[in-house]
Structure 1
Amino acid sequence: MTDSAVESAKRAAAQRAVRDHFDPSSTHVGIGSGTTIVYVVEAIKSASTNPNILFVPTGYQSRQLVINAGLTPISFDTLPDGVMLDVAFDGADEVDADLNCIKGGGACLFQEKLVAERARKFVCVADYRKRQDRLLTNWPTIPIEVAPLAQRKVVAALKLLGSPSPSLRTTLLEKSGPLKTDQDFFIVDAPFEPLLTAKDVEAGKGKGDGTDGTWEVNAISKAIKGLTGVLEVGIFAGQNGVDAQKSQAQDKTLSAVTGGQKPIAVYFGMADGSVKVRTAEGEE
């Protein structure tokens, strides 16, 4: 496929996702990072008739996209308590059959997760290359945001968890040293074998806890997040925003999470110009 065909696939997916999920009467909208989000902002600009919508970007790049489109950005930490984003749009580096995502190729995973968990619904937009049955099928590593002081300790711990060669991400100009995130943290990229879904574990395809060399998506995410020095893990799993809000309303125990990490839908722009939509109910 040519670069122009891939970009056309991204634009088609973005336009469909915005058409299905952007409401001009919204008050707050999250805008993620990555190349596909360029087309999301483009589509929102065309569809928006409300100049009062406030947009919450996940990093420097997405903030500039919002500004250049003539829209109004605000920082995440200025959101009043109790206010949720009506919707958040973001991309992904890979998506599995259960809508779990790997994100962090652009080093914005921490802020992307903050925004996803603050949204009533998170909608993912990607091209066909990101559409897989299991995470780490095509995308090679789990991005992990790490405190600089702890990076050697975390790399050693990741090897114990089964990653053969976790490595510190450097800038394109090697002499400039490690890449730094918006939080001045480092990114460690950790390769693992393709991650099992919960259904894979139920079907006996592996234990999923690392003891037999297999890891299930949620299990490896929790194991890495539990390492001292790790700020965030580039696996977006668990509940989606709609389910998280239902659980909070029904659960009598205290829950501090109002949104979810998983998208309610993923829009894949395909090579033939069509758009496939993957939801919890399946793919159309």
Structure 2
Amino acid sequence: MTDPATIDLSKDAAARAAVALVENGMKLGLGTGSTAKIFVDRLAERVHDEGMDLRCASTSKATADQARKLGLVVEELDDLGWLDLTIDGADEVDPDLNLIKGGGAAHLREKIVATASDRMVVVADQGKVVECLGKFKLPVEVIPFGWKSTRTHIERALAELEMEGRPIILRERDGNPVLTDESNLILDLALEEIRDPHGLARQLSSIAGVVEHGLFLNICSLAIIGRPDGSVVELLREDLE
């Protein structure tokens, strides 16, 4: 297992490299998660050091609170309109820069903000890079009403994709269901590997009761991957080269 201190160094390296992409006057989307949190810290340092003028939209209440405490200007996405850039983390990144997100139960807002931006850039450590998505449980946000029926529809969809029998787990904390910022539930799909992410995304999106899933497909344009020695590797989506 990688030393936690080394992982933090990797995340910090990725965050610092992402901060360098930010330009004065930008409208910026701020992500959620451990690496995104470090990015917000480093961004605030640069804003204060250089007197930068930024307007930010947040992907979660937690990130908004963090950013405001650090003196960043956070506004509603609808007031900002289209964003120049969104920087966010990821739970998994595949070679095509498809992602699984939602470990922090914020993937609905994260996807709304990312797709309202000219560009989405992911910051992560090496442990998030995978050959095939699916080891990390796929989060699916569902409304509380009829959630067990929604789970049944998800089970049937998985069976159609030859993934029957995979566990679907209601996310809980301290014995209580985890609620998103929209007061919805999270079902975590233990799929092991997702050979057809686009097919799965279509199936999940067609189910009544599913609000959003954690597959981010053809959204991320650049992934900045931090290494234990403090260096970074940049992965660019091939169709954008």
Q: TM-score with structure 1 length normalisation? A: 0.77
**Match of residue 243 from structure 1:** none
Q: Specify the SS of the correspondent of 2:87.
A: strand
Count of aligned residue pairs for this structure pair: 230
Superposed CA deviations along residues 47-69 of structure 1, whole A, max 9, x for unmatched, are 33355421101111110221121
**Match of residue 267 from structure 1:** 224
Aligned partner (choices 82, 85, 95) of residue 84 of structure 1: 82
Q: Specify the SS of the correspondent of 1:143.
A: strand
Identify which range, 39-48 or 57-66, moves more after superposition.
39-48
**Match of residue 99 from structure 1:** 97
RMSD, matched Cα: 1.6
Q: CA deviation at 1:125?
A: 0.3
**Match of residue 134 from structure 1:** 132
Q: Specify the SS of the correspondent of 1:25.
A: coil
Identify which range, 156-165 or 225-234, moves more after superposition.
156-165
How many Å separate the matches in 2 of 1:132 and 1:272? 20
Task: State whether residues 155 and 167 of structure 1, in contact with CA within 8 Å, keep that contact through their aligned partners in structure 2.
Answer: no
Task: State whether residues 24 and 52 of structure 2, in contact with CA within 8 Å, keep that contact through their aligned partners in structure 1.
Answer: no
**Match of residue 71 from structure 2:** 70
Q: Specify the SS of the correspondent of 2:86.
A: strand
Identity of aligned residues (%): 30
**Match of residue 202 from structure 2:** 222
Q: CA deviation at 1:193?
A: 4.0
The aligned amino acid for 1:281 is E
The 4+ residue runs of structure 1 with deviation greater than 3 A are 49-52
Unaligned runs of 5+ residues in structure 1 are 197-215, 239-261
Superposed CA deviations along residues 63-84 of structure 1, whole A, max 9, x for unmatched, are 02211211111122333xxx31
Superposed CA deviations along residues 194-251 of structure 1, whole A, max 9, x for unmatched, are 122xxxxxxxxxxxxxxxxxxx11110110111000010100003xxxxxxxxxxxxx
**Match of residue 149 from structure 1:** 145
- Summarize the alignment of residues 1-284 of structure 1 with structure 2, pairs less than 5 Å apart: 1-19=2-20, 21-26=21-26, 28-48=27-47, 49-50=50-51, 52-79=53-80, 83-136=81-134, 138-139=135-136, 141-160=137-156, 161=158, 162-163=163-164, 164-171=166-173, 173-174=174-175, 177-196=176-195, 216-238=196-218, 262-281=219-238
Q: Specify the SS of the correspondent of 1:184.
A: coil
Q: TM-score with structure 2 length normalisation? A: 0.90
Structure number with higher relative contact order (C-alpha < 8 Å, ≥ 6 residues apart) = 2
The aligned amino acid for 2:229 is D
The aligned amino acid for 1:70 is G
